[in-house]
Amino acid sequence: MSGELRLLTTVANEAESEMVIERLSEAGIRSMPHLHPDNIRLGPAAPLDIYVEAKVYEEAREVLDAEVLSDAELDRLSQEAPPPE
C-alpha cells in the first residue's frame, strides 16, 4: 500500500480481521491488519488494527457502517416482494 495510512477500526481477533478485510476487498478497498507488539503472545486471539489508505478512509467507513441483512431478513423481504411478471 502506498500513501498515508489511517486507522479504520480495531477488531477483537484474527477471524474478525479476516471478515473485515474481505468485506473491504469486495468493495475494492485494500486494507492492512497490524498486530500490536505487546499482544504478540496472544496469537490469533489478539486484537488487530485495520488500516486503509487515507484517501479511501470515508469510503471504507461507509462499507463497514453499511447494514448487513441477516438470512431471515432477506427471506422476509423476498416473500414480501411482488411476484415476477
Tell me what pLDDT residue 14 has. 85
Does residue 82 carry a pLDDT above 80?
A: no
Strands (DSSP E) contained in the chain are 5-11, 31-35, 48-53
Tell me what pLDDT residue 1 has. 65
Statement: the pTM of the whole predicted model exceeds 0.75: no
**CATH of range 5-80; options 3.20.20.70, 3.30.70.1530, 3.40.50.720, 3.90.330.10:** 3.30.70.1530
- The domains of the chain are located at 5-80
- Model confidence over 37-81: pLDDT tens digits? 666 666 667 888 999 999 999 999 999 888 666 677 767 767 777
CB 48 within 8 A of CB 34: yes
- Closest C-alpha among 14, 17, 15 to residue 51: 17
CB 5 within 8 A of CB 32: yes
